[in-house]
Amino acid sequence: MKVTLVYSPAARQVLERELELPTGSTLDDALRLSGWLDPHPELGCEASVSCGIWGRKAPREAVLRERDRVEFWRPLRVDPKVARRERFKFQGAKTAGLFAQRRPGAKWGY
């Protein structure tokens, strides 16, 4: 059976590999056969990298099916809420979000 493995070790860098596996292989088997553990040892640690099938979290013992897409996700470095607040502080209320575009002569907020 054919499966696709996808991993992004850094921003704007995506690794994708298609593998031919025997029927009944698990997610962990696919990882070992991919050869990614040598250049990316963080993939072997379940605590640092999450994994899933087609965007849904799955345990490493999950049995794969034909044409599955196995994804490995690294943890976020910055909380998205905190990043948004920081951007808002930098941009200010007049140039961000709902009030960024206003009609000529209109009051702020309308």
CA dist 37 and 79 (Å) reads: 27
- pLDDT classification of 37: cutoffs 50, 70, 90: confident
Domain-embedded: residue 101: no
Q: What is the pLDDT of residue 38?
A: 85
Domain-embedded: residue 83: no
* Cβ atoms of residues 33 and 98 within 8 Å: no
Domain-embedded: residue 26: yes
Total of domains in the chain: 1
- Say if residue 34's pLDDT is above 60: yes
How far, in whole angstroms, is CA 35 from its chain's centroid? 20
CA dist 103 and 82 (Å) reads: 31
11 burial (CB, 10 Å; 0-12 / 13-18 / 19+) is: exposed
Structure confidence by residue, pLDDT tens digits, 61-72: 999 999 999 999
Q: What is the pLDDT of residue 99?
A: 58
* Cβ atoms of residues 15 and 76 within 8 Å: no
CA dist 92 and 86 (Å) reads: 10
Q: What is the pLDDT of residue 56?
A: 94
Domain-embedded: residue 16: yes
pTM assigned to the model: 0.69
- Host domain of residue 39: 2-73
Domain-embedded: residue 9: yes
CA dist 29 and 46 (Å) reads: 14
> Which domain CATH number covers 36?
3.10.20.30
Q: What is the pLDDT of residue 107?
A: 67
Structure confidence by residue, pLDDT tens digits, 72-104: 998 888 888 998 888 877 776 566 566 566 667
Domain-embedded: residue 107: no
